[in-house]
Amino acid sequence: MSFFVAASCLLLIYFFPANNAIQKYTAALFFFFLLPVFYAKIILRKNLAAFGLNLNNARRGLLYGAGMLVFLLIIGYILTKQPEFTNNYRLPGAVISNFWAFVFYEMILVNIMLFLQTFFFTGFVLFSSTKYLGRLSILAPAIVFSLFVLFSTNIEWKLAPIISILALGGIVSYKSRSFVYSYLAGLLFMFFLDAYIIFMLK
Partner 1 sequence: MNKIFLKLIIFFLVLSIASPTALAEFDYPSPSDAASDAMDQASSDLGIDNAALKDAISTLNVSNMKQTAPQVSLEFAPTNPKTGDQISAIASPTYFMNDPSNLYFTWFLKHSYCKDASSGEDDYNKKCDLNNDKKVDTEDYKIEAMRIIANGGFDWNKALGKDNPKCQATETQPTYCSLNNLYATSSNDSDGYKAVFGGDDQRGKSTHCYAHNVDSGNEYELPSCKHLFPDTNNDKTVGDENFGEEEELFWRTDPTRKDTAGTGRPDEANVAGLGAIQFKWNYQAGDKVGVAIEGVSTTPTQYKDSSYKTMWAMSKNKCSAGSVKSAPTDDKIITTTVTTRTASNYPIISTSTITTETAITVQKYRLSRTKLDGTLVFEESPYDTATTSSTSTAQAGSSDSTNKIVTTIVATRTAVNDSLKATSVVTTTTTTTIDSYSVTSDSGILPLVYTTTPSTSTASTTSTDSENRFDAEKDAVNKCLKDNLVEPLSGGESKRFDIVLSRYPENPINDPSENEKGDAITINSIITNSEDQTYIKYKWEVYKSYETDLSTGDWGEPLLKSQIPGAGQTVGIGLNSFKFNLNFKKPIPKFIKISLLASEQISKNTVNEGRSDLIIPISSTSNKIGLYQTTVSDSLSLSIDAEKERCEEGLDSIVCPVTKNEIVALKVDKANFTGFSWSFDGRPIEPLSYDEDTKTCLFGECGRDGEQTNVVYLPILKDEDETYEIEMSADNADGERITLSKTLVVADPKINILSDDMNASRPTLLGYYVDPINTNPNPVAQDASLWPDYNDNEFEALPAATIKLGANFSGISLNNIQWSLDGAILNEETAPIIGADIATDGKMAFPATKKLGGVYTISASALYTQNTNVKKFLNKYWGLQLDDFYEKQITDTITIKLTDYFSDQTVPLVSQKNTGGKKILASLVSGIPAYINFLFKIILTSVIFLLSSWTILSFFPKPNEN
| Nearest distance from C-beta of residue 59 to partner 1, angstroms | 27
User: How far is residue 72's CA from residue 168's CA, in Å, rounded to a whole number?
Assistant: 8
Non-local CB neighbours of 29 within 8 Å, separated by 6+ positions: 116
Cβ atoms of 165 and 118 closer than 8 Å? yes
User: CA-based Rg of the chain, rounded to a whole angstrom?
Assistant: 17
Q: Among 179, 184, 165, which residue's Cα sits nearest to residue 54?
A: 179
Q: How remote is the C-alpha of 115 from its chain's centroid?
A: 6
User: How far is residue 163's CA from residue 169's CA, in Å, rounded to a whole number?
Assistant: 9
Q: Residue 35 or 171: which CB sits closer to partner 1?
A: 35
Identified binder of partner 1 from the candidate list 81, 83, 87, 93, rule CB under 8 A? 93
- Under rule CB under 8 A, residue 124 binds partner 1: no
3-state secondary structure of 136: helix
Of 60-68, 71-79, 96-104, 169-177, which part binds partner 1 (CB under 8 A)?
A: 96-104
| Nearest distance from C-beta of residue 160 to partner 1, angstroms | 9
Of 53-61, 62-70, 102-110, 173-181, which part binds partner 1 (CB under 8 A)?
A: 102-110
Interface positions with partner 1 (CB under 8 A): 1-5, 7-8, 10-12, 14-16, 18-28, 30, 34-35, 38-39, 42-44, 46, 89-97, 101, 105, 109-110, 113-114, 117, 128-129, 131-133, 144, 147-153, 158-159, 161-162, 190, 194, 202
